[in-house]
Amino acid sequence: MWHPATGPWTLPDTRRTGHDRNVGLALVIDDLRKSYGDAPAVDGISLSVQEGEIFGILGPNGSGKTTTVECAYGLRRADSGRIRVFDVDPQSDPDALGRLVGAQLQDSALPDRMRVGEAIHLFAALARRPVDEARLLDEWGLAAKRTASYGSLSGGQRQRLLVALALVGRPRLVFLDEMTTGLDPSARREVWELVRRVRHDGATVVLVTHFMDEAQRLCDRVAVLRGGRMVAQGTPAELVADHGGGTRVRFTASADALPDLTSVTGVSEVIARDGHVEVRGAGPFLVGLGHALTMSGLDGVELAVEGPSLEDAYVRLVTSEDGAG
């Protein structure tokens, strides 16, 4: 692996957890604000990304995800707030920033006629300490496509090339924005492996996505944005526990046969409609639910139990009135 300033380097295994106290901060954003005219796009966002993390930024369209990343990458000037990338100010020292970061931003694309090898060579010519072009093509499975045009590549191959271009300058921090939008399931999984590989090879990753399965599989921590503000931050498991809404149990039974399930300890919600019943709860409520159904003669019903997911937590966070799930 390579450090942009010193050449070859090796990281301890603890760096991959993203939570070791001895690991430094790759990105710090403090009270970031950015408006377009009278419309605030980012309204006081603060977050930090530890070196070695895959950090996800989630939110609906218009929540400020891309603007936050573009400010951190130096493409846009913030109205106020503080941004530091490994202690570098993106606006006051763009040259130093360029040696530290790489990016595959939303709607990234190349001319259809540009060949894969030409793209790698062009980006390498712009980098101060470029990686070996032939080795990069080989490592990312693009050697056989060196003479192929960008327009002829599959969706997965295009994303692989765009990620490779982001790594030409040996960055320590890589921004990846909506990189799997429009890809089929197989190509998405291929790109997921690319993201894991970027982190494994020594870079910190900031991943912008609106796919919850992607964030849950890849990210050490995530921040959820809504209306230009951050409404939650933590590990996917923490967000699920705090905002997921509890476990769901579904079964079929007539409303007349149902006992009062709202009195069962841990049950938070009971929805009965057209013979279909959904019970939500937390803690060991399943035991009490099973007992109540058995005592009512419903011990033979088939229960479908589904735990909360990051998608459940996300929906509650971005749709609730107070944004707190």
**Residue 263 buriedness (CB in 10 A; 0-12 / 13-18 / 19+):** exposed
- Among 47, 44, 40, smallest CA distance to 31 is for 44
Asked if 117 and 123 count as a contact pair (C-beta separation under 8 A), the reply is: no
Single-letter code of the amino acid located at 81: G
Q: What is the pTM of this model?
A: 0.80
Distance CA 182, CA 51 (A): 30
- Among 179, 174, 242, 175, smallest CA distance to 214 is for 179
Q: What's the pLDDT score for residue 187? A: 82
| 7 occurs within a structural domain | yes
Residue where a domain terminates, one of 217, 241, 265: 241
pLDDT digits (tens, 9 = 90+) for 275-294: 999 999 988 899 999 999 99
The two beta strands, 204-208 and 173-177, are parallel
Average pLDDT, the chain: 87
pLDDT of 232 strictly over 50? yes
> Hey, is 239 helix, strand or coil?
helix
Q: What's the pLDDT score for residue 88? A: 95
Q: Quick one: 194 and 287 in the same domain?
A: no
Q: Quick one: 271 and 139 in the same domain?
A: no
Q: Quick one: 145 and 203 in the same domain?
A: yes
Task: Quote the domain boundaries for residue 271.
Answer: 246-307
Q: Quick one: 117 and 230 in the same domain?
A: yes
Alpha helices for 144-300 (secondary structure H): 155-166, 185-200, 212-218, 236-243, 285-295
| 325 occurs within a structural domain | no
pLDDT of 219 strictly over 80? yes
Q: Quick one: 94 and 187 in the same domain?
A: yes
pLDDT digits (tens, 9 = 90+) for 9-63: 333 333 334 444 446 999 999 999 999 998 999 999 999 999 999 999 999 999 9
pLDDT digits (tens, 9 = 90+) for 242-262: 999 889 999 999 888 899 999
Rg over alpha carbons for the chain, rounded to the nearest Å, is 24
Q: What's the pLDDT score for residue 85? A: 96
- Among 250, 247, 249, smallest CA distance to 308 is for 247
Q: Quick one: 97 and 34 in the same domain?
A: yes
Please state the rounded mean pLDDT for residues 138-161: 91
* Tokens 């470029």, residue located: 130
